[in-house]
Structure 1
Amino acid sequence: MKAAPHCAPYHPRMLKTAESRERWLFWLLAVLVLGAGLGLRDPWPADEPRFALVARQMVESGQWLFPMRGDELYADKPPLFMWLQAAALALVGNLRIAFLLPSLLASLGTLWLVRDLGARLYERRAGTHAGWALLFTVAFTFQARRAQIDPLLVFWTTLSAYGLLRHLLRGPDLPMWWLGWFAAGMGVITKGVGVVALLVLIPAAFAIARGWQGIGPMGWRRPATWLGPLVLLLPVALWVGPMLWTVAHSQDPALHAYADDILLRQTAKRYADPWHHRQPAWYFVEVMLTQWIPAWLAVPFLWRDWRDALRAKDARLLVLLGGVVAILLFFSLSAGKREVYILPALPLFCLALGPWLPQVVERVAARRLAFALAALLSAVLGIAGAMVAFGHPSFEQRLDDIRGFAGSGDALGWALLAIGAWGGAMLLFFGLRRGVAALLGTFAGLWLIAGLAMQPLLNDASSARGLMRRAGATIGDDAELGFVAWKEQNLLMADRAVRTFGFKRDAALQLRDALDWQRAAPATRWLMVEANALAPCIDRSVSVDLGISNRRDWWLVPARAVRCAPGEALTPPASAPEEDGT
């Protein structure tokens, strides 16, 4: 294996000071880049309002075992992420902060694990460079700044790999082995695929069988080793046990349907026979090429080092790269694919890069490539900002028509211009000789401006806060409101208690029950209905068009607009779109 070049000798005190400065800089930038905008926006669709709504209902109702979305059970995901959001909400009392805290803390934890494991497997510089690579990889940074389940899942899968590899490559260390299995169990109650970190055991077993260097036996002949799989079941049992006990002692068919859905349909059936997000077999290659930048750009400069290390039978690299390949294959075998599915492989990929990144960033070609990428990114965003702010008023109108970004176009353009200008300043400050630093500085500015300026500008439209403010002002403080064909962000942002009639139910059935509810108090009850769910017997000329939010047109229906007779068929002319955009 070609070793990473060593720096010229330093006085120990100077070296310690440099390491300390690097740590402070890294963690300062990590908190700023991942946390910029915390508290400045509300949850945005498609997933954020759903989890935040469930978490808020847990806090308000005191019922945490069975997640609820409005008046229906929510069985699409295990509850751990929503429990953490609910705990954060109960602790800080501010939903804008609480809903993002689990993702932020989990992502910072993932960065620490990568830096520490890289240092333990190789040396300190390998860990630090792997951490920098992960922090500024677009896929990681983007997801870490969102309140979705995947950043928490990545933390558990990385912690699982951390424990397993410390036992296999730096052990034996049975407590670390058990930690790896326990973290996999925590991953299961976060998202059903939380066990994917265990796939690193496949290349590890190969390395052990072939006598590769630097890996010890798994020790399956020792009884204590077999505690690992049992430890995995512990967190699963702590959730599934009380849930199944409650279901078994209940006559509520909804609870029985919840157990079947969460344990079977949303796991094995979703993998084997997915009903949405169907993509071709090579989909994840496209994801890596477009979203794993700039990390994968180092591969052309170090693939020969990887080749030499594998030829030298270095088990460390085999297990890391083998884990990446195993995770990619696992998700590629299912027809249902989303870009976030392979995110657990990214920390392993960055760890595999780490030992050779110090010499890569010193290469002239790598510096030029990074400088060129920073220049391209700055130019594209700057030109786009100028077009929005100065040149094309029709573009702003199009944003308003599609997304409801009324009045935000010019400000959005200036924010894009600011990012372009920041990138230009980074290019001038660092220059071609420090092109990698210029690229990282450009990305840092992009995320900071996005969080501190762009997200607040777009929040009213993206979160439905503006929509629900208009709805509340239209119907008045004393009116009651019911939802038909609603989305989670509507209920989350409502300024009053709202009556719902199911979420997954057919829109016609929701509308039928909603009209019966409205007839009981027609003077004070309004319905908020998505345009595609409006029946022909509802007079739109008497109803109020609230405008577009999240690509949907929303209407307020007073009782006087209803021409529907009781029992009349209420099938809308078209079905609503399945998913929100952000």
Structure 2
Amino acid sequence: MTDKNKWLHIAIIIGIVGILMFSYLGSQPLMDPDEPVYAETAREMLQVHDFISPRIYGDFWYDKPPMYYWLVAAASQVFGGGEFAARFPSAFFAVGGSLLVYLSGRKLFNERAGLLAALVLGTSLEYFYLGNAAVTDMTLTFFLLAALLSFLHKNYYLLYSFAALGVVTKGPVALFFCVVIIGGYLMLTSTLATVKQMKAGKGILLFAVIALPWYVAMYYFHGMDFIDTFLGFHNVTRFLQPEHSSGKLWYYYIPVVILGFFPWTAFLAQACYTGWKEQGQERKTCTFLLIWIVTVFGFFSLSQTKLVSYILPMYPPLAMLVGYYFDKAWTQGRYKALKLSAIAFGGAAAILIAGLSYASAVVSAELIFPVRMIAGVLTILAAAVLYHSYRHDFGKVFITYVVGMVVFTAFLMLHTLPVITPAVSVKPMVEEFKQQYDGQAPVYIAKFYRPGFVYYSGLAGIELNSEELAAAVLEKNDKAYFIVQKEKYDKLNSDIRSKLRVLAAHEDKILFVRDGN
């Protein structure tokens, strides 16, 4: 391929993935509770001009290293704050990750396989979702992707540099994955001698220069409180003890991958099997990608704290395998495999349509129409994929998937998400609160809603655990405002509720006031 084709492919990737990642960044409020945490922490960094010690509600905050806060703070200086700035780093690195997959894939496999892999990654559902979210996972995924691909291309100084940036993004887990994946690959392929070529001495020094200064500074300023909270609780304890009930489910990530890699899930089994059985010159590359996938999936499956976003780092190698498989099937004319994938996709789409239809009918009547629109899009997509598959047209099948996902996500973001916004963001309630607030009385906020409340109101409020509601209401007789879960309010006895005045209710949230004497 000529450089002209290379730049054309880069433009295609930036155009398609850029549309998916940047079109909706500022269209919806930040979702509780995670997105407002990162946006508010970055804002407080700017307010106090302290870019070493993250803080929220004015208190020091040891949850994550500062990389994402720094990025949001920088974006806020450029774009003036708000939802767009809070999500900009994730969108930027999502596009960057797709480009890295292309640039690497074209060298490891071939030009077309690299292009297909990049578009597979950029149009997969979870990658799209987290590329539009103000959380750290996409940034970590980018740095981990860059580090591991640097190893494959023997750019070892870049490996150490990007691994260090991953550690400044989310902690030791970035270093853990690099060591385990690369070490596992070297042992499995009997190439441990490669370590001698990896410039370990200078590389470790480079890693330390980039990764350690923030940790040293935090220990200097905060001592063992930082070590115990960040390393002890947020890394070790959360791995060993479940923070949510989902942590007990060993199979938690199986449905997450099936749904999150949609619409390319239909190719997963064939792609992984093809990679495992590969005997040609791409065997080592496929082996590395499979080790990468298994390591990430296995680690987070063993972790007792599980969240949907955690396994995002396994999506780039999955996309590269699918891109390689699709290109190989296309070249070899594997028409039967194409038809089977189309049938599998049709079945998955039917299950998704049924699930969405049931959920919309149960949750909210307002969701019925947008879900029917999405169901229509999925039905047309499945029919088009099946039609082109039986016509043996690999190119049109792939284009149908890509265009279908662009249309699907547009309906999702423009017609479905606005309906459920009151259920996933405290912003509508904050707007109501601003109209009702007297500007002086204390405000009690349920812990889950507090980050969003602070971000949108500018008031720190008083954090309220659900079991403390009755005591907080009865504690004093002066005027006070409360924003809590509606179910918690409903559990208050009638005598207590008689002393309160409900001002607004949105979905699961309720705003009420204790007028006092």
Which of 522, 541, 549 is residue 498 of structure 2 equivalent to?
A: 541
Task: Please state how far the C-alpha of 1:206 moved relative to its aligned partner.
Answer: 1.9
Aligned with 2:195: secondary structure?
Answer: coil
Aligned to 1:128: 115
Aligned to 2:37: 50
Task: Please state how far the C-alpha of 1:107 moved relative to its aligned partner.
Answer: 0.9
Deviations 1:219-252 (A, max 9, x none): 16x8x4322233222233221122222225xxxx
Aligned with 2:502: secondary structure?
Answer: strand
Confirm whether residue 435 of structure 1 aligns to residue 406 of structure 2: no
* CA distance in 2 between partners of 1:200 and 1:231 (Å): 20
Aligned with 1:281: secondary structure?
Answer: coil
Which of 333, 336, 353 is residue 302 of structure 2 equivalent to?
A: 333
Task: Go from structure 1 to structure 2 and tell me whether the alpha carbon gap of 1:326 and 1:385 turns closer, same or farther (over 3 Å shift).
Answer: closer
Which stretch has the larger CA shift, 322-331 or 120-129?
322-331
Aligned to 1:68: 55
Task: Go from structure 1 to structure 2 and tell me whether the alpha carbon gap of 1:307 and 1:58 turns closer, same or farther (over 3 Å shift).
Answer: closer
Give the letter aligned to residue 461 of structure 2.
Answer: T
TM-score by length of 1: 0.75
Task: Go from structure 1 to structure 2 and tell me whether the alpha carbon gap of 1:384 and 1:20 turns closer, same or farther (over 3 Å shift).
Answer: same
Which of 200, 220, 230 is residue 225 of structure 1 equivalent to?
A: 200
* CA distance in 1 between partners of 2:54 and 2:10 (Å): 40
Within 5 Å, give how 1:106-505 maps onto structure 2: 106-167=93-154, 176-192=155-171, 193-195=173-175, 196-207=177-188, 209=190, 217-219=194-196, 224-248=199-223, 257-276=225-244, 277-302=246-271, 305-310=274-279, 314-361=283-330, 363-369=334-340, 371-372=342-343, 395=361, 399=363, 409-410=365-366, 412-423=367-378, 426=381, 431-432=387-388, 433=391, 434-476=396-438, 478-486=439-447, 487-492=449-454, 494-495=456-457, 497-502=458-463
Aligned with 2:169: secondary structure?
Answer: coil
Task: Please state how far the C-alpha of 1:387 moved relative to its aligned partner.
Answer: 8.7
- The answer as to whether partners of 1:92 and 1:98 remain within 8 angstroms in 2 is yes
Aligned to 1:3: none
Give the letter aligned to residue 440 of structure 1.
Answer: V
Task: Please state how far the C-alpha of 1:474 moved relative to its aligned partner.
Answer: 2.5
* CA distance in 2 between partners of 1:444 and 1:284 (Å): 25
| Alignment gaps of 5+ in structure 1 | 1-11, 168-175, 249-255, 401-408, 561-582
The structure with the larger Rg is 1
Deviations 1:426-452 (A, max 9, x none): 567774333343333222211122223
Task: Please state how far the C-alpha of 1:188 moved relative to its aligned partner.
Answer: 1.6
* CA distance in 2 between partners of 1:538 and 1:229 (Å): 65
Deviations 1:534-560 (A, max 9, x none): 976984234232455563444332224
Which stretch has the larger CA shift, 360-369 or 336-345?
360-369
* CA distance in 1 between partners of 2:496 and 2:273 (Å): 70
* CA distance in 2 between partners of 1:99 and 1:330 (Å): 29
Deviations 1:461-481 (A, max 9, x none): 4322221122222235x4444
Task: Go from structure 1 to structure 2 and tell me whether the alpha carbon gap of 1:68 and 1:300 turns closer, same or farther (over 3 Å shift).
Answer: closer
Task: Please state how far the C-alpha of 1:143 moved relative to its aligned partner.
Answer: 1.8
Task: Go from structure 1 to structure 2 and tell me whether the alpha carbon gap of 1:313 and 1:351 turns closer, same or farther (over 3 Å shift).
Answer: closer
Give the letter aligned to residue 267 of structure 1.
Answer: N
Give the letter aligned to residue 235 of structure 2.
Answer: T
Task: Please state how far the C-alpha of 1:109 moved relative to its aligned partner.
Answer: 1.2
* CA distance in 1 between partners of 2:282 and 2:383 (Å): 44
Q: How many residues are aligned here?
A: 502
| Alignment gaps of 5+ in structure 2 | none
Task: Go from structure 1 to structure 2 and tell me whether the alpha carbon gap of 1:325 and 1:474 turns closer, same or farther (over 3 Å shift).
Answer: same
Give the letter aligned to residue 30 of structure 1.
Answer: V
Deviations 1:123-146 (A, max 9, x none): 212211211221222222222222
Aligned with 1:64: secondary structure?
Answer: coil
Of all paired residues, the percent bearing the same amino acid is 18
Task: Go from structure 1 to structure 2 and tell me whether the alpha carbon gap of 1:189 and 1:510 turns closer, same or farther (over 3 Å shift).
Answer: farther
- The answer as to whether partners of 1:302 and 1:360 remain within 8 angstroms in 2 is no
* CA distance in 2 between partners of 1:424 and 1:18 (Å): 34
Aligned with 2:142: secondary structure?
Answer: helix
Task: Go from structure 1 to structure 2 and tell me whether the alpha carbon gap of 1:281 and 1:485 turns closer, same or farther (over 3 Å shift).
Answer: closer
Task: Please state how far the C-alpha of 1:286 moved relative to its aligned partner.
Answer: 3.9
Structure with a larger share of its residues in helix = 2
TM-score by length of 2: 0.84
Task: Please state how far the C-alpha of 1:90 moved relative to its aligned partner.
Answer: 2.1
- The answer as to whether partners of 2:150 and 2:158 remain within 8 angstroms in 1 is yes
Deviations 1:464-523 (A, max 9, x none): 2221122222235x444422434235423544x4353357798479938x966x84xx5x
- The answer as to whether partners of 1:138 and 1:294 remain within 8 angstroms in 2 is yes
RMSD: 3.6
Aligned with 2:462: secondary structure?
Answer: coil
* CA distance in 1 between partners of 2:273 and 2:460 (Å): 63
Task: Please state how far the C-alpha of 1:97 moved relative to its aligned partner.
Answer: 0.9
Task: Please state how far the C-alpha of 1:316 moved relative to its aligned partner.
Answer: 1.8
* CA distance in 2 between partners of 1:556 and 1:499 (Å): 17
Task: Go from structure 1 to structure 2 and tell me whether the alpha carbon gap of 1:20 and 1:528 turns closer, same or farther (over 3 Å shift).
Answer: closer
* CA distance in 1 between partners of 2:212 and 2:370 (Å): 48
Task: Please state how far the C-alpha of 1:110 moved relative to its aligned partner.
Answer: 0.9
- The answer as to whether partners of 1:106 and 1:151 remain within 8 angstroms in 2 is yes
Give the letter aligned to residue 229 of structure 1.
Answer: I
- The answer as to whether partners of 1:471 and 1:556 remain within 8 angstroms in 2 is no
Task: Please state how far the C-alpha of 1:53 moved relative to its aligned partner.
Answer: 1.8
Confirm whether residue 30 of structure 1 aligns to residue 17 of structure 2: yes
